[in-house]
Structure 1
Amino acid sequence: EGGRAAAETATVPNAVLCNSVVDAWAKSRHPDSGPRALRILDRMEKLHAASGLGSVRPNAVTFTGVVSALTDGGTKGAGELTEALFSAMKAGGHLPERVPTAVYNALLRAWAKSSGSNDDDDDDNGRRAPERAEAILDAMEEGRRRRWSGTMAVGGGTNEGGVLDHDAPPSPDRISYNTVLDAWARSSHPDRVVRARNVLERMKKRGGGGTPS
């Protein structure tokens, strides 16, 4: 039985291998790269649940890779999908208790890439996306849990499409600020110039952005 168990374990791919495949899909920029990466993540979760092996458990690298596949592949609703993925992986214990800045920056990038694109028939995503990105930046600056919903105005606009909890977010770095600036630059929002200038001033006050944590 010991030999059989060892053989079964040997047939289970580990997270390093799975993450490499996710990264390959992300770099391909194929239109199906987002859905394919999500399927790999789903397989990892099922394998982890069935085998109990920590070696196949999805992690922060998996998250950032899947987000890259969603955004660079042009998946519709990448911002919303990334938020849902963040919440699910955080709740499932797949992300560390102290979530690294790179994970939050991936979330910011998903919204920045959505800015200026109307991929939702019921919502001007290009105008809403930078507000979502700036709300995440707000939470990172405050360093505490932030919660928003469709009834809460954030950054001069109304956030819709669910609730996202940030538990002690890391401090933003230069990439964080530049990504939010990019979101406003891509946006069709009438106040985009003023809002971008405000973000730039906030960045300057922090000395160009904090260090990753």
Structure 2
Amino acid sequence: WARSGLPESGERAEALLDYMNEQVEDYDEEGRGYIHNSEDYYDDEDDANIVRPNVITYNSVMNAWSRSGSPNAAEKAESILKRLLSHPMGKGGELRPNGISFSTAIHAWSKSSMPQGAKRAEILLELMERLYDETEDNNLKPTAACYHGVITGWSTRSRWRARRGDEAKRAEAILCRMRDVAGIRPTTLHYNAVIEAWAHDLNKGIDNKAQKAQALLKRLENEWKSDNSSSKMGKQSFSPRSKTDLIGQKTSSYNHAIRACASNIEDDNAKLDAFLIAIDTYKRLCNSKYCQPDEYTYIAMFNMASYLLKPSSDEQIKLCEDLFQKCCREGQLTNTSLRIAMQTLPDSSI
């Protein structure tokens, strides 16, 4: 059920967990189980016939809820985590939650459509950090995946119409905590989520968008240049599946930074600064040894030119024509980029 992704998977998986616990309770009530003594927990010969749920069982139920698509999936996943935290065998060590337990619940909230999803994910991360500080149990040490879940939760909500307006700040704060406090080196995926959040930020002005995204991108470029094996923060633990995935992630870093220059900027001077940042970002991408522009790069650049430059000005016409020619040469022209270019320059020969 945990891997099925069916709407009823969470409910069915939890029903199996409840059945297992009922069997264990009936067995223990007869005096043959040792629920308070972990050393004698499996000493009884008949105990081999009793299937006792372990942390993997609970994690699987949380995963089933997380993948079910149910509106209350995140609440259900967290309730299973709480059951695991309060289990009588938790103190004895038999049924303690681990990093996967928290990561599963965090990602359930991160994907949730509920307004409080990102906040709930962050609360679980804070609980995990606190438990790790209190117990020094490495099984409870927050992982890169846990931080990524919370960052993604805030980044996703930055695209909502009913967003709060502080999503980008919250996402970047988690990134800094991960890097500076937990000592875990963020990967391209972590940075991309924060840069994307800034691209969707509601606040007006260059300081809250283009410059913030640019600062993160430059730090990420420095991370790429550094040797992971000799980094003080250790190797990245959130690796992409293939070299192609990594190249795509790095291109997305630049694309998100360009998008951060193309919205919610009203002041003319701020628009000029944003334009210069976008052009510099595009040039660095073209000259990068790690990745190259893709179709989304040109969509972002056409949108930027349409938003920041005076309509039908010589500067706008020249930039769009140059972008169009290069886009065609590189085989990156799509219907979307063509439509934006034609809308921006209706009288052009494009």
Counterpart AA for 1:25: W
Distance 1:17 1:130, change over 3 A: same
Counterpart of 2:254?
177
When residues 195 and 31 of structure 1 are mapped into structure 2, their CA distance, relative to the original with a 3 A threshold, is: same
Aligned equivalent of 1:101: 188
TM-score (norm 1): 0.69
Q: Cα deviations across residues 43-102 of structure 1 (Å, max 9, x unaligned)?
A: 111221223221221121111110111122334322222232222222333514xx3222
Deviation at 1:174, TM superposition (A): 0.9
- 2:192 is aligned with 1:110: no
1:113–1:179 Cα change, 3 Å:
same
* Counterparts in 2 of 1:40 and 1:130: CA distance versus 1, 3 Å: same
Task: Tell whether 2:214 aligns with 1:134.
Answer: yes
Distance in 2 of aligned mates of 1:89 and 1:198 = 29
Please show how residues 189-204 of structure 1 align to structure 2 within 5 Å.
189-191=270-272, 192-204=274-286
Q: Percent identity?
A: 22
CA RMSD of aligned residues (A): 3.1
**Residue in structure 1 matching 2:168, options 73, 79, 85:** 79
Amino acid in structure 1 at the alignment position of 2:271 = P
Matched residue, 1:68: 152
Aligned to 1:55: 139
Alpha carbons of structure 1 residues 138 and 90: separation in structure 2 relative to 1, 3 Å: closer
Gapped runs of 5+ residues in structure 2? Answer: 1-35, 40-87, 158-162, 225-232, 237-245, 293-350
Higher RCO (C-alpha under 8 Å, 6+ residues apart): 1
Q: Which has the higher strand share?
A: 1
Q: Name the count of aligned residue pairs.
A: 178
Q: Distance in 2 between matches of 1:134 and 1:53?
A: 38
Aligned to 2:180: 91
State which structure, 1 or 2, has the greater radius of gyration over its C-alpha atoms: 2
- Report the Cα offset of residue 184 of structure 1: 1.6
Deviation of the 1:41 alpha carbon: 0.5
What residue number does 2:113 align with? 29
Shift of 1:2: 7.0
* Counterpart residue number, 2:38: 3
Ranges in structure 1 where 5+ consecutive residues have no aligned partner: 119-123, 145-166
State the TM-score, normalized to the length of structure 2.
0.44
Amino acid at match of 1:88: R
Aligned to 1:157: none
